[in-house]
Amino acid sequence: MIKLVSIVFALLLGLSPAADAQAPVTVTVTPRLVRQHFGGPGFHAEMFLDTATPQFYDQVLSKRWKEMNPRFARIMLHRARSTDADPLQRLAQQINFLKNATGTEVYLTGGLEEAPEGEARKQWADHLAGELETLLQSGATNIKWHCITNELSLHGWASMRRDLPTFHAYEQALYDAIESRHLPIKILATDASPITNWNTIQWAAENMDGIVGVYGGHHYLNDYAPDDPAAYNWFMEKCAWAVGIAKSKGKDFILGEFGPRQYQQLRWGARWDVAYAYGTPAEPMAGLQLAEAATAAINAGVYAMGYWTFVDYPDQDGGSRGVNHWGLFRWMSAGATPRAPYYSYSLMTRFFRGPASVYRVETGDPLVRAAAIRNEETGAWSIAVINREPRAVSLSIALAAEPDKAFRKYVYDTAHVPVTEDGDLQGPSGKIAAAGRGFSDTVAPESLAVYTTAYHDGAPASVRGLTATQQGDATALRWEPSPEKDICYYRIYQNNVRIGSSTKPEFVDAGPTRHQPGDYTVIAVDQSGNASQPSRVSRSPRNRSK
């Protein structure tokens, strides 16, 4: 009777009985550290420069990488590049781009070949160390780690998990070759996948720690559907176990690959390896699960993590030899369309980049998960809150220290996944100023909210020297490079309709708008997402920017 009266009273006041009954969930960023010098979320990050056109690389791959701003990448040292005359030079080109664009640290894997003991193995190791040295000499000094195997594979997938002494012997040979050349690259062990094979990490810690610089493994959440909230605690516990092994040896643990449930089957005569939920109604929830898995790994104390993958693999021979569609966005031939997780995981790579101190966070609701870092170079705070409740939740957030400015809030809502022009990342939904060491907010059901002070206000200067000239059957736009250090990319419009992006001060319009009369517009966008005032030019080669 009392409960009924309370509900009626709430209705008379115009309140929702459910909302009235729910007290705010406390999210407390404690002063206790999970770890220091956190590297950050990133990707397995092939860019397929032998397959992509230069325009696709500039206008899509490099633009989206710079905007996501990840500080960690895992890359294959050896990958079949049938159209590439110099794969090592091409690999150096990509790794140097990652270094110069986003200061990304790189973990290379691969290069293991059958080499009998003795002189043959020594020659193999010396050749592989020579390739690593060539990459370093080319400027790719952001290569920090290497493992000879992808998931302990030699004769077949994960075949060396049953022959770890041989794995040790190969790694010892490479370690000796690296040491003889004085290369600053550390050996990673064991790159095993899935978690059921992480016992190999413990074996490596017990038997080959003297040559290991960092430990690592992979896992995909095959036992958990995207809407299963139990995955978070399970995954954090497993990551914490591996971190504990590495920490007992004074080392770090890297989550080299991770992702949601896999679909691996033969389909239409080809091997498919894709995320199970992609292309289904569950795709938005898979985006939330991906950010949640990253949050679990951060709270477990991992050094860095790489989602598989940044972009889809191009179909080999038109797909007849295999389909690998795990990217946050599709390949060039499929229009580079972003998938829902593009808008969730990018909030983690963009705002949880290191070097950072990770703080322990406590929440008053087990279905509200949170992680918090403070960047060790800038002092900026970033807090991720994942609401697994099927209802909106009011938050009362307590901070470990008073921030120096208001928080920007970024949202990924599974019910309203943002669709942006040309794959731009979603902008902030607003600002929230803290009152001392705390603030309050409300988060949507089954959503991710990131609160960050990792930004600056103020628009960049407009581009100067914009020209539009005929180039064959196309229109070539060129302008002066922005002198501002944190310019991320440029947006290009024709008659106020977005036609593309560019990280270079040039754009060739070879599409259907190339003959239309009217103005072209170029807008500079900085790393904080601030946009300049537009600069315009007509198609006439005699007209310059206004």
pLDDT for 72: 98
Residues 6 or more apart in contact with residue 405 via CB below 8 angstroms: 453
9 pLDDT above the threshold of 50 = no
The 3-state DSSP class for residue 135 equals: helix
542 pLDDT band, cuts 50/70/90, is very low
Q: What percent of the chain has pLDDT over 90?
A: 85
What would the 3-class secondary structure string for 312-359 be? CCCCEHHHCCEEEECCCECCHHHCCCECCCHHHHHHHHHHCCCCEEEE
pLDDT for 12: 39
pLDDT for 266: 85
pLDDT for 82: 46
341 pLDDT above the threshold of 80 = yes
Domain with CATH 2.60.40.1180 in the chain: 24-31+357-452
pLDDT for 236: 98
pLDDT for 312: 96
290 pLDDT band, cuts 50/70/90, is very high
What region does 175 belong to: left with phi over 0, alpha with psi -120 to 50, or beta?
alpha
151 pLDDT above the threshold of 60 = yes
Would you state the torsion angle of the CA atoms of residues 248, 252, 253, 254, taken in this order, to the nearest 10 degrees? -170
43 pLDDT above the threshold of 60 = yes
Q: Tell me: the pLDDT tens digits for 100-148?
A: 999 999 999 999 999 999 999 999 999 999 999 999 999 999 999 999 9
H or E segment to which residue 31 belongs:
strand 25-38
State how far the Cα of 437 lies from the Cα of 27, in Å rounded to an integer.
Answer: 12
Domain with CATH 2.60.40.10 in the chain: 467-538
Architecture of the domain made up of 467-538: Sandwich (2.60)
Average pLDDT value over all residues in the chain: 92
6 pLDDT above the threshold of 60 = no
Domain with CATH 3.20.20.80 in the chain: 40-353
Q: Which residues pair with 494 in a beta bridge?
A: 497, 520
Residue 60: name the closest of 323, 327, 326, 308 by CA. 327
21 pLDDT band, cuts 50/70/90, is low
The residue-averaged pLDDT of 423-430 equals 97
> Could you tell me the pTM of the whole model?
0.93
Say if CB 543 and CB 537 are below 8 A apart: yes
Look at strands 304-308 and 143-147 and give their pairing. Answer: unpaired
pLDDT for 10: 41
483 CB burial (10 A radius; 0-12, 13-18, 19+): exposed
DSSP 219: E
Which single residue is written with the structure tokens 């972009």? 311
CATH, domain 40-353, list 3.30.10.20, 3.40.1280.10, 3.20.20.80, 1.20.120.1810: 3.20.20.80
376-409 burial code (b ≥16 CB/10 A, e <16): eeeebbbbbbbbbbeebbebebbbbeebeebbbb
The residue-averaged pLDDT of 42-58 equals 93
Residue 36: name the closest of 360, 389, 436 by CA. 360
Q: Tell me: the pLDDT tens digits for 361-409?
A: 999 999 999 999 999 999 999 999 999 999 999 999 999 999 999 999 9
15 pLDDT above the threshold of 70 = no
54 pLDDT above the threshold of 90 = yes
pLDDT for 79: 63
The token duo for 526 is 């900085």
Q: Tell me: the pLDDT tens digits for 319-328?
A: 667 899 999 9
pLDDT for 1: 43
The residue-averaged pLDDT of 337-347 equals 98
For residue 541, cis peptide bond before it (omega within 30 degrees of 0)? no
The token duo for 401 is 């220290």
State how far the Cα of 302 lies from the Cα of 240, in Å rounded to an integer.
Answer: 8
The 3-state DSSP class for residue 231 equals: helix
299 pLDDT band, cuts 50/70/90, is very high
Phi then psi dihedrals of residue 476, to 5 deg: -100, 125
Other C-beta atoms closer than 10 Å to the C-beta of 437 total 13
- Domain 24-31+357-452 fold is Immunoglobulin-like (2.60.40)
The residue-averaged pLDDT of 435-460 equals 97
517 pLDDT band, cuts 50/70/90, is confident
The token duo for 250 is 């004074």
Phi then psi dihedrals of residue 180, to 5 deg: -65, -25
Residues 6 or more apart in contact with residue 451 via CB below 8 angstroms: 381, 382, 383, 385, 397, 407, 408, 409, 432, 441
Q: How many CA atoms lie within 13 A of 280 on its CB side?
A: 12
pLDDT for 317: 63
17 pLDDT above the threshold of 70 = no
2 pLDDT above the threshold of 70 = no
